[in-house]
Amino acid sequence: MKRIWNNFFFDFSARTYIMGILNITPDSFSDGGLYLDQEHAVKQAVRMLKDGADIIDIGGESTRPGAKRISAREEIKRVVPVIKAVSGKVNVPISIDTYKASVAEAALKAGASIINDISGLRFDSDMANVAAQHKVPVIIMHIQGTPGNMQKNPSYRALIPEITDYFHQGIAIARKAGIPDDMIILDPGIGFGKTVEHNLEILKCLGDFSGFEKPLLLGHSRKSFIGKILDDLPVSERLEGTSAAAAIGIMNGADIIRVHDVKEMVRVAAIADRIKRS
């Protein structure tokens, strides 16, 4: 599976690609408050590039469980200056992590070239049109509920079939707006309306989504299910758990892993890829 997105070439049959996380927020669960200053944000982006990141994912609103919503104006104020600065320093695609079409529009004009939508094109009816008009890839993520309520009591009759149906519907929304099939990436949404057992089932069953013939993104880095399995370890001590989940995810079909610890996950992916593709 090969893709050319805005002159960036991806060969998913050759290796796993690394998306580095850069949150311009005061309240993200892991790195909230660390990169609100533009200078620090740019330095972190450059550091992730040197460590091997293939994509830099920039977000301005926390979507952790129970997070408070912010206005599009505030989100744009946070991300656009950073995207402009980072785009002049790195030679990899920048994705904008947002579910608001106006934020995506501003970010794309500032230098972003991928839309990462946690709502799978559902929260803002204009999002698919923005992606189509700008001819950029879109990540369709599965979520049950909203960030404010998604972890209150997530339940499914059949988890994998329900995510599969959600993907079919999201792809239909994208196609209707004019987004080509080769511009769609799928993300099963680890931690977004899922229990620990749901997250483990997704990791074990990633291969069930291979029939879509679209790149599959795994966003598991440092998340709470890892901490819960490891006797409630805090975020700062979840590197080994993140590494284990990354390796298993890659073996089971992940094409892109979205991570905080880029250098370490590049190494994990290199080993997992060598085993998987040998």
Distances (CA, A) of 173 to 46, 134, 159, 216: 35, 16, 21, 18
Active-site residue identified among 15, 100, 194, 223: 223
Strand duo 8-11 + 2-5: pairing = antiparallel
Long-range contacts (CB closer than 8 Å, 24 or more residues apart) made by 158-163 = 159/198, 159/201, 159/202, 160/201, 160/202, 160/205, 160/208, 163/188, 163/189, 163/202, 163/209
CA 82 and chain centroid, separation: 18
Active-site residue identified among 15, 64, 194, 258: 258
Q: How far apart are CA 50 and CA 53, in angstroms?
A: 7
**Is 258 a catalytic site residue?**
yes
Task: Catalogue the active-site residues.
Answer: 223, 258
